[in-house]
Amino acid sequence: MGCVTYVTRDGSDQPQPRMAFTRDALLIRGCGRTDFQGGSSQQLYKSVHSQIFTLPKETLLYLAHDYKGFSVTTVGEEMLYNPSLTKDEETFKNIMENLNLAYPKMIDVAVPANMVCGLQDLEPKAN
């Protein structure tokens, strides 16, 4: 629900090839988890396919993080080689619902804090 992708404009005064910064929606040969608060495998699939995979194939994709040491991919590479997002929507949904990943230790603190820009204590403190 909170994923945003920033894309450079197309134009002679812009970097070429274009660049997109995908945060946690799309990862190199993977995608973000959808089993957290507000997550939806259907929405993630539709967003990636309608917003990111419609960019020019040579568009460079920079991701929020990668656990294998990669720093950049392209739209074309992910359309060909992403093991889950190259599937049809129903198969993708089934994959995401059956990952059986461990529940992150701090997720109940991290996600609500992320949803309010990292602020954990919004109550004013008494002097």
> Is 72 part of a structural domain of the chain?
yes
Confidence at residue 86, expressed as pLDDT on a 0 to 100 scale: 95
Q: Residue 15 — pLDDT band, cuts 50, 70, 90? A: confident
Confidence at residue 113, expressed as pLDDT on a 0 to 100 scale: 75
Peptide bond between residue 56 and the one before it cis (omega within 30 degrees of 0): no
> Is 124 part of a structural domain of the chain?
no
Confidence at residue 84, expressed as pLDDT on a 0 to 100 scale: 92
Kindly state the tokens that stand for 75.
Answer: 């739209």
> Is 83 part of a structural domain of the chain?
yes
How much is the average pLDDT of 111-123?
Answer: 68
Confidence at residue 33, expressed as pLDDT on a 0 to 100 scale: 84
How much is the average pLDDT of 13-38?
Answer: 86
> Is 51 part of a structural domain of the chain?
yes
Query: What's the domain range around 55?
Result: 6-116
- First-last CA distance in the chain: 37
> Is 122 part of a structural domain of the chain?
no
CATH of the domain at 80: 3.60.15.10
Q: How many angstroms separate the CA atoms of 44 and 63, rounded? A: 15
pLDDT score of 50 more than 90: yes
pLDDT score of 116 more than 90: no
